[in-house]
Amino acid sequence: MHVSVSDTGGLGRRLEVTVPATEVSEEVKQRLGRLSRTARLKGFRPGKAPLAVITRQFGEQVRAEVVSDLMRSSYTQALTQEKLKAAGGPRIEPLSMDPGADLRYAALVEVLPEVKVSSPDGLKIERPTAAVTEADIDAMIENMRRQRPVFTVVERAARDSDRVVVDYQARINGKSFEGSDASDINVILGSGQTMPELEAPLNGATAGEQRTVTAAFPAAHPNKTLAGKSAELLLSIKRVEEQSLPPVDEEFCKAYGVDDGDLAQMRAEVRKSMERELADLIRHRVREQVLDGLYKANPLQLPRTMVDEQTQELQLQAARRMGVREASQLPPREPFEEAARRRVALGLLMGQVVQGEGLKLDPARVRTRLDELVASYPDPEEARRAYQQSPDAMRQLESAALEDQVVEWVVERAHITERPMSFSEVTGFGRDAHEHGHDHMHTHTHEHEQASGT
């Protein structure tokens, strides 16, 4: 086999490969010989058809298979021989496929760049240091109270933060439509969770009243019957309920999973959850600084193939989040290209650290990650078995554990500055308590159940 390599610009390479005609014909001969021992042809006993007959009937098909197999195997050998690492699959250009002649083809491929990771000694990383205080726990419990308000019927006009219970009948041009009538609809005034045209008229309403309003549905409304149209709504106000916060009592504790209703135990559970979140966020901040530092300090020429693949994966992820299923409706690629380049570059850089430093996957880290994942499930052991029986899930865990080892390798060599901060400064909890973590003690459980389908 003869191989010649030429540079096509950037990371592109053109490999011209020649496989001697004798090698092709010998492989064809051997395959036809094996086939003659098993072939069933009309007029001949099994395995007794003459080779000439086998060749006449199957020769063209066998040669095509041999050529395909030899191109695949010789391409792999050519990469090894020329010490090239392909970044993706090749584009093959046949040059000579004639029977009796040498097999010649060109393979156009991008190769991986040479990756060198500069010493992280000069990398500056700021690591937050924080603790969960009793005041932080008080604030979190106050937030938890807001997530489970108590509503009490009042005999007065509705005002901001009240819950108004209504029945409504909607009509378009005087006609009803599917889903046009509904009963016992809860509208919390001021929450912004309902169409403004429905919420605004309820301010100042009292039980027993009826109000008629017009609502315009957006052109992008998922219900095609309503999209871009206006409907007349007849609202029947049934109740006005005042909102208040529940007392932190035994019933409240039980609602958050503390079976015996003990407040001290609930505070301990809240502390544990907050400390876990705080540790995760501190690790995340350090990790992001490490990855940013690696990326900026080690610029790489990246294979277009890998960047394109990663860009498409990010487009698909965004489409799934938006509920888009059709490829024609993928979001434009441009906003994802820089993130794709960063992912590809960091994958190459972290891989080089693993190889260059001889880092080996630590099974204990994988077990720890698995323990953390399953701890929030209702049945941790069942969740553990589900993960362990999924090769893809375990590969992701192993990859994440190995990335943690690379991050630690960098952190051990970087210049670390510790910055004292409060829990709220690290987590952002104080800035928007309403969005920070409804049902805080149960957030992780819910996410894992959705992800796994359990």
In this predicted model, what pLDDT tens digit does every residue of 235-258 receive, in sequence order? 999 999 999 999 999 999 998 888
Same domain, 240 and 162: yes
Lowest mean pLDDT among 171-175, 193-197, 296-300, 395-399: 193-197
Same domain, 442 and 314: yes
Lowest mean pLDDT among 90-94, 183-187, 355-359, 430-434: 430-434
Q: CA of 227: how far to CAs of 208, 220, 329, in Å? A: 31, 6, 19
40 three-class SS: coil
96 three-class SS: strand
User: Which two tokens mark 146?
Assistant: 């807001």
DSSP class of residue 329 equals G
Same domain, 98 and 201: no
Torsion sign (Cα): 291, 293, 296, 300: negative
**Confidence (pLDDT) at 137:** 96
> What's the rounded Cα separation, in Å, for the pair 87 and 353?
18
Q: CA of 206: how far to CAs of 169, 183, 220, 238, 389, in Å? A: 18, 17, 33, 8, 58
pLDDT digits (tens, 9 = 90+) for 278-335: 999 999 999 999 999 999 999 999 999 999 999 999 999 888 888 877 767 788 889 9
Which residue segment(s) compose the domain that 20 sits in? 2-110
Instruction: Give the helix/strand (H/E) hosting 69.
Output: helix 51-81
Q: What number of H helices and E strands is found in the chain?
A: 14, 11
Q: Where are the beta strands (DSSP E) in 203-273?
A: 210-216, 230-244
Instruction: Tell me the pTM.
Output: 0.73
Same domain, 210 and 79: no
CA 412 to chain centre: 29
| pLDDT above 60 for 440 | no
Lowest mean pLDDT among 201-205, 337-341, 366-370, 438-442: 438-442
Same domain, 125 and 72: no
Same domain, 92 and 228: no
Domain annotation covers residue 70:
yes
User: Which two tokens mark 339?
Assistant: 């993130």
The total number of structural domains that make up the chain: 3
| pLDDT above 50 for 449 | no
Residues with Cβ within 8 Å of 446's Cβ and at least 6 positions away in sequence, in order, are 439
Q: How many residues does the chain have?
A: 454
pLDDT digits (tens, 9 = 90+) for 2-61: 999 999 999 999 999 999 999 999 998 888 888 777 776 776 767 667 777 778 878 888
User: Which two tokens mark 367?
Assistant: 């077990």
Cβ atoms of 106 and 18 closer than 8 Å: no
Same domain, 316 and 379: yes
**Confidence (pLDDT) at 179:** 77
> What is the CATH number for 200?
3.10.50.40
| pLDDT range class, residue 442, cuts 50, 70, 90 | very low
Domain annotation covers residue 403:
yes
> What's the rounded Cα separation, in Å, for the pair 55 and 32?
7
Same domain, 89 and 55: yes
Q: Considering only CA atoms, which of 112, 150, 73 is closest in space to residue 305?
A: 112
| pLDDT above 50 for 453 | no
